[in-house]
Amino acid sequence: MGAIRVGLIGYGLGGAVFHAPLICSVPGLKLKAISTSRVEEAGRDLPGIKVVPHPEAILSDPEIELVVIASPTSTHFDLACAALIAGKNLVVDKPITTTVQEADRLIDLAKSQRLLLSVFQNRRWEDGFLTLQSCIEQGLLGNVYHYEAHYDRFRPAIKQGWRERPLPGSGILYDLGSHLIDQALVLFGLPRAVTADVITQRPEGLVDDYFHLILDYGRRRAILHSATLVRAPGPRLIAHGDGGSFTKYGEDGQEEALRAGRRPGSADWGRDVPEHYATLTASDGASRAIESVPGAYQKYYEQVVPWIRDGGPAPVDPLDSRHGILIIEASLASARERRTVSLEGFA
């Protein structure tokens, strides 16, 4: 068989910076067409690839086996349903949909159509998260009882775009929260309950731009935090266990590299800078730097090829992302009602 031909719907930040470059960097995948209102921009960036203004041209193309949806979150469900009905295997950018009900319907539709569905949760392959995951798996922290993940930015001005407009799936909780929640699910599974504070801090803001979630795992707590008015951020990741502590500063550099035009496979791709290496403090108080596991966003799409061709596991199980939406909905209810929300029976 030849390369898997891919149709990409959407060429905003997600499509232009992440999906198109990563798809083009992976052997076994061939980006055939892009659907976007930014026809001229996509044509300049990717000469030789067909660019169309409407997704119907991609859904009706019999050569396209895989459709990738990187459009605004509010459009995910309708476009994903249309792609599955058209007989296409499907990757949907995070979050999978805006509600648990929509996620369940989409997963059921993929099963009934006997098609493959996965969700692009690329931040499973960031250097800090991979390093912490490795330390936990090696038992270097013992049993982890406190986990903290931050995704803080300094953006006092409101940016133009759908993420800042009051639409379904807009706001920082659906955007950055989807990443932090997914990472917690990978490490610890589904929590028992959530207590959340979700607000808008910027005076001109129309959507949430701050959240603080506390996930209840019995004796363990996972704290997920994101804000838009943080000029001097603290640690990105913190974990404390009965065997030691882990602290990591600094952002993964892959997004910046992709924006600059670099691609996976280039020299030092995904390598962290030494000053951002995590500090591991053992139970006896001795501390040492831990060299970061290199980030590797491309591994998501590398796993797509055997997933489609050989029946391998999905790069990300859509049920994981469905659980992420469950936590988001419970968090919004918790913030609105000022109470802890049990996830048992919530949906």
pLDDT digits (tens, 9 = 90+) for 283-326: 999 999 999 999 999 999 999 999 999 999 999 999 999 999 99
The identity of residue 278, as a single letter, is A
Buried b (16+ CB within 10 A) or exposed e, 53-70: eebeebbebeebbbbbbb
CB 248 within 8 A of CB 237: yes
The first and second tokens of residue 187, run together, are: 């490490």
Task: Work out the average pLDDT over 274-280.
Answer: 97
Could you give the C-alpha distances from 203 to 168, 218, 249, in angstroms and in order?
21, 37, 29
Q: What is the pLDDT of residues 144-203, one digit of tens each?
A: 999 999 999 999 999 888 888 999 999 999 999 999 999 999 999 999 999 999 999 999
Is the bond into 95 cis (omega within 30 degrees of 0)?
A: yes
Task: Work out the average pLDDT over 64-93.
Answer: 97
Other beta carbons less than 10 A from residue 15's beta carbon: 24
Task: Work out the average pLDDT over 94-106.
Answer: 97
Closest to 91 in 3D by CA, of 337, 331, 308, 329: 308
Other beta carbons less than 10 A from residue 285's beta carbon: 8
Q: What is the pLDDT of residues 265-275, one digit of tens each?
A: 888 999 999 99
Could you give the C-alpha distances from 270 to 55, 187, 315, in angstroms and in order?
33, 21, 19
Res. 245: pLDDT tops 90: yes
Percent of the chain with pLDDT over 70: 100
The first and second tokens of residue 296, run together, are: 């590797």
Three-state SS annotation for 164-210: HCCCCCCCHHHHHHHHHHHHHHHHHCCCCEEEEEEECCCCCCCCCCE
DSSP reduced 3-state for 46: coil
Could you give the C-alpha distances from 45 to 5, 18, 28, 34, 292, in angstroms and in order?
19, 13, 21, 11, 32
Percent of the chain with pLDDT over 90: 95
Q: What DSSP character marks residue 18?
A: I
The end-to-end CA distance of the chain, in Å, is 42
The first and second tokens of residue 252, run together, are: 């993964």
- Domains, the chain, ordered by start: 4-120 (3.40.50.720), 124-297+328-341 (3.30.360.10)
The first and second tokens of residue 280, run together, are: 């591991």
Q: Which residues pair with 290 in a beta bridge?
A: 278
DSSP reduced 3-state for 109: helix
Closest to 33 in 3D by CA, of 110, 114, 96, 88: 88
Q: Would you place residue 347 in the very low, low, confident or very high pLDDT band (cuts 50, 70, 90)? A: low
Other beta carbons less than 10 A from residue 27's beta carbon: 8
CB 96 within 8 A of CB 304: no
Res. 1: pLDDT tops 80: no
Task: Name every residue whose Cβ is closer than 8 Å to that of residue 280 and which is 6 or more positions away in sequence.
Answer: 135, 140, 244, 245, 246, 287, 288, 289, 290
Q: Which residues pair with 196 in a beta bridge?
A: 213
Average pLDDT score, the chain:
96
Beta strands 66-69 and 117-120: pairing type?
unpaired
* Vertex 39 angle, CA 36 and 45, to 5°: 105
Cα separation of 89 and 195, whole Å? 36
Please provide the size of the chain in residues.
Answer: 347
Q: What DSSP character marks residue 347?
A: -
Task: Work out the average pLDDT over 51-69.
Answer: 97
**Res 161: pLDDT:** 85
